[in-house]
Chain A
């Protein structure tokens, strides 16, 4: 007791700053003790959750397999299936168990157990991640009926929500689902474009709608996405629009367009590109020469020779490759006259490959 009194008196006679420091230290000490206790609880909880997760995953997998094999008609629910549905309905009320089932469910089962209502309810949430997870579920379980609700989210300010809504439309409505591009004002990221293209390529029906309006979109990312569609689905018909895009104000679009024309091996395109060559960016010039590698002929020789001394390595490489293809004698002349180290190296490389 005397000790306590001594320390109390000692504390109160300390300068204010030291008192504050001791007070904060005391608080930190209590915080550390609390955190240590909580850490122990948290780690046990996480380990426990993993065990439960494995147990329920196994159990639900078995139930689902039984469910799938118990049905004799696709449209009818058998007695055994009904019993399993009732069992699972009880589990659905538990959020943790619900999450486990979701990974394994099938559409009919999804509807019957009422899980679909949980997903639809999520669409009305205020938090973006809840909305996005709702859309994702509805996509996984192919709930086409939610179309009118989900289409509203295509222009959602949150990128993930937008992305999920777009994936829903394309996953369930295939090429028709791309109609959201007609009025899309927000940018379609490269990541989203890749995802959409991958989904589209999985369908048996590869009949692509008219991409002309999208190639003329004011949204640059929509134009870039349409260019990818044009290339993947060999849309030669849009060639004239591609020529127009060669003078688009956006450099990336101009470059992408040259790449598509290169893929089409379009001989006409050089007539559009040559006159503007000097004014175009270096990247465009490089792409143009890559295009010429596939389409150049004798009549391009003068233009090719003009660029033998181009400062860019890739253009030099293209120039010499083309020259060798269209006029070997001229190529040999350049080879003999070459003083530029890069040209010498490139010539050596071309000759040995």
Chain B
């Protein structure tokens, strides 16, 4: 049934004589032109203009931006923050997906909804909650200042805020994937004598690797680009030679922009835009791998 439907669907779309379920040529052209014009104004023009603005004063000036010690410390800080937040959310995502996909328990739907919660919370509020918790009026403030520890207006706060806004990415990617794959393969491995860890490393991980990579890539793009939440907890302390400060790449872009160094701001922005394009390319590539893996799982289930 599945194969014949696909065949007829393909035939219906390719065969120009089938007028009854296809639009006339001019309607088709009108719709394509309409959709592409909208995307051109809202996507292509902004994307092209990032790189055009970045290079508007020539390649020399472009590279000059990246030699500034404050910009360099912002880049290093961003990599450190993403380097902590992404693995944290990655471990969490795998653990949550394992619990949710491989076992039955009450309240599972509520748990899945709660995991998605950070997506419906404003980044500004994501920053605010940590200021309330660890900032001057908060419950931990006295203890923290007694021990000379800083969370807000320091790197730990930036890591926490970034972790919050990127919290669901890996989990929400893995949960449906592992649910679709079921638990039979792992159960077989156990029955054949594999330990729990062996089962995970040899059976589960190869099955979920594309989904995991997909989640990690999206998580990383958001972690490196987060602005609102980080802005609230940052304290905007400039880094420089020897010190890291609390300015990440997006915050540094804002500083340059507000200093009327528009070209510098766009040069640094082009770095993030390039990261975005790489993310999209990897995402498209992995999506194909992922669908193939899911298809294989479905075929196994039928067999």
A, B in one complex:
no
